[in-house]
Amino acid sequence: MATRIRPSSKRCAVIGGSGFLGRHLVEKLLDKGYTVSVFDIRQSYELPGVTFHQGDLCDKQSLLTALHGVSLVFHCASPAPASDDKALFQRVNIQGTQAVLQACTEVGVQKVVLTSSASVVFEGTDIKDGREDLPYAKKPIDYYTQTKIEQEKLVLKACDKEKGLLTVAIRPHGIFGPRDPQLVPILVDTARRGKMKFIIGDGSNLVDFTFVDNVVHGHILAAESLRPESPICGKAYHITNDEPVRFWDFMSDILVGLGYAAPRYHLPYTLVYGLSLLLWLLSLLLSPLVAFKPTFTPMRVALAGTHHFYSCSRAKQDMGYKPVVSLKDGIRRTVESYPHLRHGA
Ligand SMILES: NC(=O)C1=CN([C@@H]2O[C@H](COP(=O)(O)OP(=O)(O)OC[C@H]3O[C@@H](n4cnc5c(N)ncnc54)[C@H](OP(=O)(O)O)[C@@H]3O)[C@@H](O)[C@H]2O)C=CC1
Ligand SMILES: CC(C)CCC[C@@H](C)[C@H]1CC[C@H]2C3=C(CC[C@]12C)[C@@]1(C)CCC(=O)C[C@@H]1CC3
């Protein structure tokens, strides 16, 4: 059992603070006068005022050291969805989150803000203006989503006013912005390989893409609203840009902004989805012999060809949430931040 020291309310830890969202969160917390410790499996930068603790969040002992004297923990670490590694997702997102919650209880952390995902309710079919009371996906579309569901349940169940641990889950969707290692780099790589010529379906499906600053804003609002009498304790909140956009318009804006052609030709959704399933099966069967990762995974095709946008009215009502950066400005700032990915660069 670790010895407790009196935690300061402006002393926080960001688990996963070396990642895309985590680093933006750390920078905003510093601006707001917080003292920040980062716990991550890797250290990707250095910043004055930030103490780094490198370690695996499944190792409770390392966590205990990093969380000493901390009153508020943001947990935004996860293996990348593209890894599609069932054992890794289970170990980090489920066992690891249990270790985080145990460590928080042992050192006397008072608040835990989890980065969950709006995908926890997504089964590959249309969701329009989805609210937080939608049931969790019964057939999650991949191992990432399956373990994000279990993770969210664990964190929300751990909320216990008597024991002095308050928890809340933030469910963002399609985070984008400067330094994102997924969306823009994968999109550009696919375009450079000549595979971004096609629109999956009729192109009218609406989706949420959320600028990273808005996601950060939602996390900090949640942390600052989390008090024993607050309605947010033990609940999940969608945080979006509140501007659903056609999936293919968003992709085209980024591509054209970076000097690539927008996709033009339509392919039927069911055909592409069926092909992506076949490819996924083939990659599984052949994995002992050759490692190949299809670009158009069933998850990506489902995300690209269905409506899935979410209401953030609960966050507006309970914590006064309002996006701080519009979609248009978010796209502009994102495009400007990737000069090295421009066509011809
Ligand atoms: N990006 C998006 O569109 C969305 C993301 N989310 C959620 O937001 C959170 C942050 O995502 P994002 O910033 O995009 O992801 P990143 O991969 O950029 O950041 C996650 C960080 O966690 C680290 N990490 C992974 N495993 C461990 C471990 N065992 N112990 C300690 N650190 C670890 C990663 O290291 P390494 O890179 O070496 O693995 C990385 O630094 C995640 O929980 C994700 O599920 C939710 C909705 C949408
Ligand atoms: C090849 C193209 C059809 C698509 C290229 C862009 C995609 C890489 C991204 C479009 C929507 C994104 C998204 C996520 C990852 C990147 C995309 C698939 C998540 C799966 C990340 C983790 C989550 O919790 C949900 C996200 C939904 C949207």
Ligand index nearest the alpha carbon of residue 147: 1
In which band, very low, low, confident or very high, does the pLDDT at 284 lie, cut at 50, 70 and 90? confident
In which band, very low, low, confident or very high, does the pLDDT at 218 lie, cut at 50, 70 and 90? very high
- Taking 70 as the threshold, does the pLDDT of residue 103 lie above it? yes
3 state SS of 263:
coil
Residue 168 near ligand 2, beta carbon < 6 Å: no
Is the interface score ipTM higher than 0.95? yes
**pLDDT recorded at residue 10:** 87
CATH topology of domain 8-180+209-243+308-325: Rossmann fold (3.40.50)
In which band, very low, low, confident or very high, does the pLDDT at 310 lie, cut at 50, 70 and 90? very high
**pLDDT recorded at residue 83:** 86
**pLDDT recorded at residue 201:** 95
Catalytic residue check, 45: no
In which band, very low, low, confident or very high, does the pLDDT at 74 lie, cut at 50, 70 and 90? very high
Q: How many residues are listed for the chain in this entry? A: 345
Residue 304 near ligand 2, beta carbon < 6 Å: yes
CA distance 96 to 251: 34
- Taking 70 as the threshold, does the pLDDT of residue 99 lie above it? yes
Q: Which of 144, 237, 321, 338 is catalytic?
A: 144
Lowest average pLDDT, out of 51-60, 107-116, 295-304, goes to 295-304
Ligand index nearest the alpha carbon of residue 186: 2
Residue 117 near ligand 2, beta carbon < 6 Å: yes
Q: What percent of the chain has pLDDT over 90?
A: 90
**pLDDT recorded at residue 50:** 96
CA–CA–CA angle 174, 180, 183 (5° rounding): 50
39 CA → ligand 2 middle, Å: 25
Secondary structure letter of residue 29 according to DSSP? H
Dump pLDDT digits (tens) for 105-148.
999 999 999 999 999 999 999 999 999 999 999 999 899 999 99
Residue 334 near ligand 1, beta carbon < 6 Å: no
Residue whose Cα lies nearest atom 22 of ligand 2: it is: 81
- Taking 90 as the threshold, does the pLDDT of residue 24 lie above it? yes
Ligand index nearest the alpha carbon of residue 145: 2
**pLDDT recorded at residue 177:** 98
288 vs 238, higher pLDDT: 238
- Taking 60 as the threshold, does the pLDDT of residue 3 lie above it? no
192 CA → ligand 2 middle, Å: 18
Residue 305 near ligand 2, beta carbon < 6 Å: no
Q: Cβ distance 258 to 188 under 8 Å?
A: yes
**What residues contact 91, with CB distance under 8 A and at least 6 apart?**
58
Residue whose Cα lies nearest atom 16 of ligand 2: it is: 183
In this structure, how many other beta carbons lie within 10 angstroms of the beta carbon of residue 205? Answer: 22
Residue 186 near ligand 2, beta carbon < 6 Å: yes
Phi/psi of residue 167, nearest 5 degrees: -130, 155
Phi/psi of residue 58, nearest 5 degrees: -80, -10
Dump pLDDT digits (tens) for 314-330.
999 999 999 999 999 99
Residue 78 near ligand 1, beta carbon < 6 Å: yes
- Taking 50 as the threshold, does the pLDDT of residue 1 lie above it? no
Domain ranges of the chain: 8-180+209-243+308-325
Residue whose Cα lies nearest atom 20 of ligand 2: it is: 81
The amino acid that residue 159 corresponds to is C
> Region 263-289: what's the mean pLDDT?
92
Of all helices (H) and strands (E), which one includes residue 75?
Answer: strand 70-75
Residue 92, strand partner residues:
none
Tokens, residue 300: 């990506």
Find how far residue 206's CA is from the centre of its chain: 19
CA distance 178 to 188: 14
Tokens, residue 174: 């399609």
Lowest average pLDDT, out of 80-89, 152-161, 218-227, goes to 80-89
**pLDDT recorded at residue 7:** 55
**What residues contact 23, with CB distance under 8 A and at least 6 apart?**
17, 44, 45, 179
Tokens, residue 157: 């169940």
313 CA → ligand 2 middle, Å: 23
- CA separation, residue 97 to residues 78, 156, 267, 280 (Å): 10, 11, 40, 28
CA distance 109 to 14: 13
Instruction: Report the candidate in 179, 178, 151, 169 with the shortest Cα–Cα distance to residue 218.
Output: 169
**pLDDT recorded at residue 181:** 95
- The pTM of the whole model exceeds 0.90: yes
Q: Best mutation site among 206, 249, 250, 303 for ligand 2, i.e. most ligand atoms within 8 A of its Cβ?
A: 303
In which band, very low, low, confident or very high, does the pLDDT at 2 lie, cut at 50, 70 and 90? very low
